[in-house]
Chains A and B, each alone.
Chain A
Amino acid sequence: MNILELRNLHVTVMNKPILNGVDLSLKAGELHALMGPNGSGKSTLANVLAGRPECRVTAGQMLYRERDLWPISPEERAREGIFLGFQNPVEIPGVSNLRLLKEAYNAQRRHHRQPELDAVAFRAHLRDRTAQLGLPEEWLLRPVNAGFSGGEKKRNELLQLMLLEPRLAILDEIDSGLDIDALTLVAEGINALRSTERSMLLITHYPRLLDQVPPDRVHVLMGGRVMLSGGMELARKLEQQGYGWLEEMVT
Chain B
Amino acid sequence: MNDRPVITSAMARSYKHGFITPIPSDTIQPGLDEKVIQWLSAKKQEPDFMLEWRLAAYWHWLGMTEPSWSSVRYPPIDYQAIRYYSAPRSANPNAVALKDVDPALLATYEKLGIPLDERLTLAGVAVDAVFDSVSVATTHQKKLAEMGILFCSMSEAIRNHGALVRRYLGSVVPPGDNFFAALNAAVFSDGSFCYIPPGVRCPMELSTYFRINAAGTGQFERTLIIADEYSQVSYLEGCSAPQRDRHQLHAAVVELIALEGAEIRYSTVQNWYPGDAEGRGGIYNFVTKRGECRGDHSHISWTQVETGSAITWKYPSVILRGAGSSGRFHSVALTNHHQQADTGTKMIHIGADTRSTILSKGISAGHGHNAYRGLVKVLAGATGARNHSQCDSLLLGEHGSAHTYPYIEVKNRTAQVEHEATTSRIDEDQLFYCRQRGLSNEEAVSLIVNGFCQEVLSELPMEFSVEARKLLAVSLEGSVG
B436 contacts A94, C-beta separation under 8 Å: no
**A 125-145 to B, binary, CB cutoff 8 A, 1 in contact else 0:** 000000000000000000100
B452 contacts A94, C-beta separation under 8 Å: yes
A95 contacts B450, C-beta separation under 8 Å: yes
| Closest chain A CB from B481 CB (angstroms) | 12
B432 contacts A93, C-beta separation under 8 Å: no
Stretch from B294-302, B380-388, B408-416, B438-446 at the A interface: B438-446
A-side interface size class? 20 to 34
| Closest chain B CB from A62 CB (angstroms) | 16
A92 contacts B443, C-beta separation under 8 Å: no
| Chain B residue contacts of A9, Cβ below 8 A | none
**B 1-44 to A, binary, CB cutoff 8 A, 1 in contact else 0:** 00000000000000000000000000000000000000000000
Interface of B is mostly: helix
| Chain A residue contacts of B447, Cβ below 8 A | 92, 95, 99-100, 103
| Closest chain A CB from B433 CB (angstroms) | 5
Q: Which 6 pairs of residues, A with B, have the shortest CB-CB distance?
A: A94-B451, A94-B454, A95-B451, A104-B437, A107-B438, A78-B438
B430 beta carbon closer than 8 Å to chain A:
yes
**B 412-441 to A, binary, CB cutoff 8 A, 1 in contact else 0:** 000000000000000111101111111111
| Closest chain B CB from A151 CB (angstroms) | 19
- Central interface residue in B429, B433, B436, by most chain A CB within 10 Å: B436
A164 beta carbon closer than 8 Å to chain B:
yes
B459 beta carbon closer than 8 Å to chain A:
no
B212 beta carbon closer than 8 Å to chain A:
no
Residue pairs across A and B with CB atoms within 8 Å: the count is: 75
Stretch from A82-90, A181-189, A214-222 at the B interface: A82-90
| Chain B residue contacts of A93, Cβ below 8 A | 451-452, 454
B474 beta carbon closer than 8 Å to chain A:
no
| Chain A residue contacts of B435, Cβ below 8 A | 51, 73-75, 78
Binding site for A on B (CB under 8 A): 427-430, 432-441, 443, 447-448, 450-455
Q: Once the chains are docked, how many angstroms separate the CA of A199 from the CA of B129?
A: 60
A225 beta carbon closer than 8 Å to chain B:
no
B438 contacts A92, C-beta separation under 8 Å: no
- List 17 A-B residue pairs with CB atoms under 8 Å apart, sorted by A's residue number: A51-B436, A78-B437, A83-B436, A84-B436, A89-B433, A90-B427, A90-B429, A92-B447, A94-B450, A95-B454, A100-B434, A104-B434, A104-B439, A107-B439, A107-B443, A143-B451, A164-B437
A94 contacts B433, C-beta separation under 8 Å: no
Q: A52: nearest residue on chain B (CB-CB)? A: B432
A108 beta carbon closer than 8 Å to chain B:
yes
